[in-house]
Amino acid sequence: MAEKAFDVVVVGSCMTDLVSQAPRLPKAGETIHGHKFFIGFGGKGANQCIQAARLGVKTAMVCKVGKDFFGDNYIQNFKDNGVHTDFVWQTSDAATGAASITVNDAGENAIVIVAGANMLLGRAELQEALPAISHAKVLVCQLEVSPQTSLEALRMAHDNKVKTIFNPAPAISDLDPDFYRVCDVFCCNESEAELLTGFSVANVEEALQAGQELLKRGCGAVIITLGPQGSVVFKTQESASKHVPTTAVTAVDTTGAGDSFIGALAFYMANYSTMPLEEMARRANQVAGVSVQAAGTQTSYPTKQDLPDELF
Ligand SMILES: Nc1ncnc2c1ncn2[C@@H]1O[C@H](COP(=O)(O)OP(=O)(O)OP(=O)(O)O)[C@@H](O)[C@H]1O
Ligand SMILES: [K+]
């Protein structure tokens, strides 16, 4: 296993984004002409894995895609980014996850997500991936696959003393309380923190309260990301939370910033095990801050070569 041990293993989703830009959103029953179409690689799990890989760690993705053109294409995308694909399964029982997105000239969108093959990732696949999960330095999970699958993967990692990051996105209000107990770092954005705690999280002050509440539920540490205001970090060993501000940048497209932050966090946790969590958050802010300055999701994620040496 030694030569196969991964720094970061992500158990999560792959989605193909089918994006149409049009002057306005069509009404029910209507057909309109758009002016641009493109296909993008998305899905929170895959995004986070690819960001970690681009920073220079050995990564493996554990996911399921369809036995179709989009599935083949996605596997090639992982390979192009140096992500190990032995645990990417293809099924004939569902299509590769897809998000059909229409964006109007005002920047508003209408989106239909069909999770498809993502929902067929289950216990059998986790058992096959157990050697990789149990020998990883860091395991990352989200909620775009079945929550039971995410929880089981986190448990497997936790039982094997693998560091775990859980990103409760997209948020569900009835989150199993066991999720808190099996994650070393619980990392969410403002709206997820609001939904999970019932507190308003509109500013740093309010984020401090929500973070303390999440921490009390049993995780090792909590990070709440706050867009241009950076992030806040809470640790069980310290009563004081820390606001980690970030450098102001001109945002072009913030899509995928949260996933860039988490992929970077996974990279730092795997590579710099003794670095204080707030320093990892400071550096992850910088990486995600680069992603907001370019269009798209994975297309905007920096590689090690794009970033200043002081981040490594
Ligand atoms: N306008 C910005 N300027 C600088 N950094 C930003 C900006 N927006 C986001 N970031 C960086 O990205 C991180 C994640 O952003 P955010 O909290 O908006 O996540 P998110 O809501 O999950 O994002 P998204 O849903 O757009 O992927 C922030 O903690 C910050 O480091
Ligand atoms: K972006």
Q: What pLDDT, in 10s, does the model give residues 58-87?
A: 999 999 999 999 999 999 999 999 999 999
- Across all residues in the chain, what is the average pLDDT? 96
Ranges assigned E (strand) in 126-214? 138-141, 163-166, 185-189
| Segment holding 210, helix H or strand E | helix 204-216
Q: Tell whether ligand 1 has an atom less than 6 A from the beta carbon of residue 230.
A: yes
29-62 tens-digit pLDDT: 999 999 999 999 999 999 999 999 999 999 999 9
CA distance 154 to 180: 10
Q: First vs last Cα of the chain: how many Å apart?
A: 27
The matching CATH number, chosen from 3.40.1190.20, 3.40.50.10610, 3.90.280.10, 3.90.1150.10, for 2-14+43-94+118-311 is 3.40.1190.20
Mutation pick for ligand 1 pocket among 261, 298, 299 (CB with most ligand atoms within 8 Å): 261
Span 287-300, average pLDDT: 95
Q: Which ligand is nearest to the CA of 244?
A: 1
Question: Would you state the structure tokens that stand for residue 124, as one six-digit string?
Answer: 């059998």
Check pocket membership of 257 for ligand 1, CB cut-off 6 A: yes
Provide mean pLDDT across the span 150-168.
98
Query: Is 47 within 8 Å of 297 (Cβ atoms)?
Result: yes
- Looking up tokens 């995780």 gives 219
* pLDDT tops 60 at residue 2: no
Q: What is the ipTM of this complex?
A: 0.98
- Nearest to 10, CA basis, from 220, 192, 153, 171: 153
Q: What is the pLDDT of residue 237?
A: 75
Residue 211 Cα to ligand 2 midpoint, Å, equals 26
Split at pLDDT 50, 70, 90, the class of 15 is: very high
Q: Which long-range contacts (CB under 8 A, 24 or more apart) does 242-249 make?
A: 242/278, 243/204, 243/208, 244/278, 244/281, 244/282, 244/285, 245/285, 246/282, 246/285, 246/286, 246/289, 247/285, 247/286, 247/289, 249/289, 249/292, 249/293
**Pocket flag, ligand 1, residue 256 (CB < 6 Å):** yes
Residue 175 CB less than 6 A away from ligand 1: no
The set of catalytic residues is: 259
Nearest CA to ligand 1 atom 2: 228
Q: Is 259 annotated as a binding residue?
A: yes
* pLDDT tens column, 208-235: 999 999 999 999 999 999 999 999 999 9
Helix (H, G, I), strand (E, B) or coil at 181: helix
Q: Give yes or no for residue 165 having a pLDDT over 70.
A: yes
pLDDT for position 179:
98
Give the mean model confidence (pLDDT) for residues 285-290.
Answer: 98
